[in-house]
Homo-oligomer: A and B are copies of this chain.
Amino acid sequence: MPDTDTLARFAAVVGARCALSDGMDMQKYLVERRDKYFGKAAMVLRPGSTAEVSQILAIAHETGTGIVPQSGNTGLVGGQIPDDSGREVVVSLDRMNTVRGADATENTITVDGGVTLQAVHEAAEAIDRQFPLHLASQGSCMIGGNLASNAGGIGVLAYGNARDLCLGLEVVLADGRVWDGLRRLRKDNTGYDLKDVFIGSEGTLGVITGAVLRLFARPRDVALAFAAVDTPADGLRLLELARQATSGQVTACELVPRIGVEFTMRHAGARDPLDAPSPWYVMLELSSALPGGRLAGEMEAALADAFERGVVGDATIAASQGQMDALWHIRESLSDVQKLEGGSIKHDVAVPVALTPLLIDEATAVVERLVPGARPVPFGHLGDGNIHFNVSQPAGADKAAFLARWEEINAAVHEVVLRLGGTISAEHGIGQMKRDLMPGIKSAVELDLMRSLKQALDPRGILNPHKLLPEAE
């Protein structure tokens, strides 16, 4: 526990109203939304400016106080939640929510770290542009956390991760100094790429207080198809055909298994999009900045061609915004509906794109061998090789008994993933959840390089302690 004097100094920086120490007041900063991670804190600080964050970190550095940066508190691996010592201080960016500027000619927007993703979307649309990062949590999650965790999502196929969408950063360093890297440049080869050191570092190397983000032309023509395929491999073939046979950009290529459609019909009011069931589906979206509605016709021609080649069976193309929403509703409900089917053991994995079908086959086989009757629901970003390989419990089985096998099933699925040259965290990061798996997935050289960076940038180890990097042995 930091001593009273230190806490008073912290409070003086932000003012009493923004220095929370009452348990009730702090609660929402200490519990993750799914109740999976919860911690304690000596204090929750809500600075209103980069200068205040700077002063907080200077005090933390001097006193050796552990700081847990937090923005929207929507992370899925516990990276934003303090430990249970009660000695750490949470620094929330939720008051730093100013859109500093946006420029349509330049295609950039500059924001505070605490601006929500939704607010970025709205500011972009106000100047007839789009920011192509879309997450289920976009009403709550904030850009600081999106960048600290290098968020992904459906748009990665066309636009890249959060990393690829960021031109410049403002970061408060571990000792309180501020690095002003808020560049608005498309090209800049003047020294080391500091920006990408901080992006994806999960708050362990600095606190991202501001960012310059890339904007894009809004699509004026969008076509969405829901196509039945026999196998994930056929899904990849369809992607390739669509890339070669349409003028738009392929902006989504999502895999949905039959069981996922059935879950959404049962629990989320979805209607079966096609007349006959199919083992797999692909949701394919084309977008173009050119108005005129030609994409639907091109999509139809591409699907007809794919049908001729035996790559797809039946398919439907959304004929209205309502139909489009209904199809996306299926995809977007897939996580939630699994909860209503009992326990679910999750994997956020990726392999080289061409190996995705093999990943699904092999992981399904090992899971079914370990837990007969278990129901894999592999879905997600087929075009990126990133599958949310979630496994629902056997129907009617005991939930707790199934969930007790979490680590065993994780280990078996991850073994497949690693053998295929894949990653056990494609989108969500390491945080607390996967920290102790790091020695099993990284070489000693790679862990050592990461520790060298940590030591160089946070020599006292005050930034998000015990997250991401396991202690050296």
Contact = CB atoms under 8 A, between A and B. Distances in A.
A350 B103 contact: no
Contacts of A307: none
B354 A289 contact: no
Interface string A371-394: 000000000010011100000000
A347 interface: no
A78 to B, nearest CB: 14
A323 interface: no
B188 A350 contact: yes
The complex is assembled from copies of this chain, and their number is: 2
* Most B CB within 10 A of own CB, among A196, A243, A351: A196
Interface string A128-172: 000000000000000000000110100010001101100000000
A289 B245 CA distance: 7
Contact of A108 (B217, B249, B352, B457): B352
A93 to B, nearest CB: 20
A: contact size bracket: 35 or more
A308 interface: no
A105 interface: yes
B189 A430 contact: yes
Contacts of A421: 183-185
A469 B163 CA distance: 25
Interface stretch (A9-17, A29-37, A173-181): A173-181
A187 B422 CA distance: 9
Contacts of A208: none
B449 A106 contact: no
A179 B245 contact: no
Nearest to A454: B192
A382 to B, nearest CB: 11
B199 A386 contact: no
Given A247-B247, A353-B105, A421-B183, A429 B290 contact: no
B149 A191 contact: no
Nearest to A298: B290
A172 to B, nearest CB: 11
Contacts of A309: none
Interface string A90-120: 0000000000000101111000000000000
A206 to B, nearest CB: 9
A179 B423 contact: no
B452 A244 contact: no
Given A105-B236, A107-B353, A240-B105, A193 B199 contact: yes
Given A178-B445, A189-B425, 4 more contacts: A181-B446, A187-B386, A191-B442, A220-B244
Contacts of A354: 103, 105-106
Interface string A416-438: 00000111111111100010001
A8 interface: no
A193 B200 contact: yes
A386 B442 CA distance: 38
A127 interface: no
A353 B247 CA distance: 27
A187 B384 contact: yes
A203 to B, nearest CB: 12
A434 B152 CA distance: 36
A294 interface: yes
A352 B185 contact: yes
A188 B446 contact: no
A156 B191 contact: no
A385 B289 contact: no
